[in-house]
Copies of this chain bind each other. A is one copy, B any other.
Amino acid sequence: MNDWQLREVDRLVAAALAEDLGFGDVTSLSTIPPETTGRATFQAKDTGVLAGVPLLESVYRHLDPAIRVEVHLADGAALAPGMTIATVEGRAQPLLSGERVALNFLQFLSGIATRTARFVRLVDGTGARIVDTRKTVPGLRALSKYAVRVGGGHNHRFGLSDGVLIKDNHIRAAGGIGPAVARAREAAPHMLRVEVETETLAQVEEALAAGADVLLLDNMPLERLREAVARCQGQALCEASGGVNEATVRAIAEAGVDLISVGALTHSVTALDISLDWD
């Protein structure tokens, strides 16, 4: 992450801390003498890919800049149970007050990176990219898409303004694939590619004829998918979507598509088990 991205991280961390701390961590403030110090270790309890270390650093930068955060593993590192991610040392009150927020970020983002990495590994050698979608938890899109990259995936559109994706309803309203693509070429910014959602080979042909840059091949059986890819050759990128899971992704990739989009990377996140263990 660069300094500009860290500003966004700091903003999200400050909001998360405000959400959790309210008017103060009454337990730590009342039971722990201010001068008490401690030391603790963020440790992996499961296998996966690490993401979110800059957020953990930000949490303690907010709560007490004097806390020493020693980072042992960077984002993207492969985790196995028992591996040490980072150690934190300093006044016990802020160390404890920040534990939950730091873990909430780390576990969520590592969960995304881990699942992404599993999909990426499954298509290894096929030339297909695993890409994310706009199915993200509200407020955390930039971080979620960062975690996808950490896991080896690529990003699709960030939002509705950085890509033209013409779906069924746009086609119907425009009166067909041809007119829809033509309108997009006329009125949308010329720096954006135009992608068209297709379900049949006839639609594939229509989209290619209309000059689409990318084809979304939605929920196609493998046979049809292969045929669609064949027809696109050299003309448009092919993106498969629908029915993608760990059991199906390899075959879909081997059908020759350029991109496979997977909503579950970000809409159903399983937190990776990471804990803060105290010395």
A interface residues (Cβ-Cβ under 8 A, vs B): 2-5, 7, 12, 14-17, 19-34, 36, 38, 62-65, 92-94, 96-97, 100-101, 103-105, 107-108, 111, 129, 131, 134-142, 145, 154-174, 180, 183-184, 186-193, 195, 214, 237, 258-259, 267-271, 278
Which residues of B sit under 8 angstroms from A2, Cβ to Cβ? Answer: 34, 63-64, 93-94
Q: Is the CB of B28 within 8 A of A170?
A: yes
A7-B62, A64-B2, A97-B4 known; A166-B31 Cβ under 8 A? yes
Q: Is the CB of A22 within 8 A of B161?
A: yes
Which residues of B sit under 8 angstroms from A5, Cβ to Cβ? Answer: 24
Q: Is the CB of B20 within 8 A of A159?
A: yes
Q: Give which listed residue, B27, B101, B237, contacts A166 with CB less than 8 A.
A: B27
A6 to chain B minimum Cβ distance, whole angstroms, is 10
Which residues of B sit under 8 angstroms from A23, Cβ to Cβ? Answer: 142, 145, 158, 161
